[in-house]
Amino acid sequence: MFKQRPWLMPGLMFAGIGLMILGITLGSPAYSAQDPTPTPSDPGDASAATEMTVHIADLAFTPHTVVVATGATITWVNDDTVPHTVTSPGGWFDSGTVGPGETFVWQADQPGNFQYTCTIHPNMEGVIVVLPGGAVAPPLFEGQPVGQVYRDSCGGCHGSNREGATGPALIPGRLTASDEYYFDVIKNGSPGTVMPAWGPLGMADEEIWALVGYMRGESAAQDVQWELDDIAATREVLVPLDDLPGEPQYSGNLDNMLLVTERENRSIAVIDGDTHTLLGHIAASYRAHGYAFDPTTERWAYNVGRDGWLFKIDLYTLQAVARVRVGLDSRGLAISDDGQYIIVGNYIPTTAVILDAATLEPLTVIQAEGVNPDGEMVQSRVAITSDVSPDLVGPYFLIGLKEAGQVWRIDWSDPSFPIDRLENVGGILHDGFLSPDNTRFYIASQTDNWMAVIDVENWELVDQISTGDTPHPGSGATWEVDGTVYGATVHAGEGLVTVWDLSDNMIVAEIPTSGPGLFLRTHPENPYIWADTMFAEQPNRIYIIDQTTFEVVHVIEEGIQTLHPEFTNDGRFVYISDWQGNVVRVYDALTFEKVAEIEGIVTPTGIFNTDRRTETLGH
């Protein structure tokens, strides 16, 4: 009934193992990324209990789902003003009529998932999850609180507090279908949408029922405080700079290294793009999400995990040398062109944090709140962070406020970090990218189904490009053909690649694919666009599109769930992650033939070439 899953086992392959690089053993950093500073408690607990009380009130069972061990005693107390029953359709228990103030007691003598209702009020539902093992029953989600699992796996689309975003709100007033319906959607997904099937990914039925119960509970908006002093208190040096060597400790090409997020392994795989060789693994934190590369030197890279830990990484030794916790739920980061400042965007709390890139000392915390397009003052998750080149336009960070629908321009050359705010950009902002000359910023407004166009120099909204359902451009794709510069996006809501002319923002092509995708990529030395369809009904197709004719010239159909194409620095090869296949494949970027298959990588997702340090789409 209960099984361990790799996606919840961060130490499955590499825990306690020193980093192996071409026969050189580097000791693991002297910290545990699996044991971060405690976060505020969740309103649910995935541990098994031996006693539990369920209250019946307001025509509901609270808690809706309880997790207990075999032998546990469950007591229902009718706090309502009318009678109810506690009845298992499978015949496991039936209370008969329980009047106001009365109780019903049942002892769970065997494991299972027991749904029950009130026969007087059939819309009242509840679930008892009974785990085997008595008092030592194994915990759900490997001991992670169910609320944390929700925020990590579901919050990006449904909102950190279940308030809804690109996905619907998951709060009691909006959940009008049966428990069985929501169980099925979580387990089997919703084909043709970005809703994945969590069952095949290893989520046990018991865990799915726990999530259903969490959704059925009341959502309390979080008021998390994580200020400058809190951030500073977590900063630590993992490896003193004086202890680091003066040159790389391996033979890989620092200008063509690929960093691969090992999504469920708290680590980053490192591959040499010249030889397609796995160099090793860097210990990181939960779901390494955002990357930035110092534009002034080949040595330093930065990564932030979804749990808010920001790492400074030494690419000479492939290890983190410093870390600081900038928030409790983070997504993206950018570095200034002079290499002095890092900015990180948070979902929880709703802030952006600017830090000294050399020391990771926090310098300022920016509260992300503003008036949304409906005229309401809201706290807002930071959807994107980007850096504008001062040689092209100005010394700016750009951040997108997801719920507020605003984009802010922050002058990083001024120690006070002044902010210019642009309102009414769109609803539920997400990814974006800069034009090659940095004069235009394109950002997805996902509920409006357009790419908003912002004049970066004059700081005004100049256009909206109606692209398709839920645009998701990733980190951006632009290219030039015969003097015309184009941009493109895939869509998280439908199988479509939309292409427009950057000079007038007119759409020049709409290219159907087999389903929704999240990432596409181009390279100045390659004539093709590479796009994934990772949320299609068949999620293993990569579309290759001619940049001139906009025709699909080839479809790679290999693996299980493939995503995030990334070029080598010379444009000769493309790397593709297979999230569920635990492998990265390498293809010739002109012939589309597979040239390598790199194993020893756990749940690979995002791939980032160190060549991005010179990219003008935003670091």
User: How far is Cα 243 from Cα 247, in angstroms, rounded to an integer?
Assistant: 12
Residue-wise pLDDT for 529-570, tens only, equals: 999 999 898 999 999 999 999 999 999 999 999 999 999 999
Q: Does the model's pTM come out above 0.85?
A: no
Q: Do 49-216 and 228-614 fold alike per CATH?
A: no
Q: What is the largest CA-CA distance in the chain?
A: 80
R_g of the chain, CA atoms, integer Å: 25
Range 314-322 average pLDDT = 98
Residue-wise pLDDT for 96-150, tens only, equals: 999 999 999 999 988 999 999 999 998 899 999 998 876 666 678 888 888 888 8
Nearest to 180 by CA among 138, 200, 208, 150: 208
- For residue 3, is pLDDT > 80? no
String of b and e for 279-309 (b: at least 16 CB within 10 Å)?
bbbbbbbbbbbbbbbbbeebbbbbbbbbbbb
User: How many other C-beta atoms can be found within 10 angstroms of the C-beta atom of residue 98?
Assistant: 20
pLDDT at position 168 is 77
| Domain range annotation of the chain | 49-216, 228-614
Burial class of residue 23 (count of CB atoms within 10 Å of its CB; 0-12, 13-18, 19+): exposed
Residue-wise pLDDT for 496-512, tens only, equals: 999 999 999 999 999 99
Residues whose CB is less than 8 angstroms from the CB of residue 570 and which lie 6 or more positions away in sequence, other chains included: 256, 525
- What's the distance, CA 613 to chain centroid? 22
Nearest to 471 by CA among 453, 497, 433: 497
CATH 3.40.50.300 fits 49-216, yes or no: no
pLDDT at position 48 is 63
What phi and psi, each to the nearest 5 degrees, are found at residue 39? Answer: -100, 165
Nearest to 350 by CA among 249, 221, 442: 221
Range 324-343 average pLDDT = 94
Second-level CATH architecture of 228-614: 8 Propeller (2.140)
431 close to 156: Cβ distance less than 8 angstroms = no
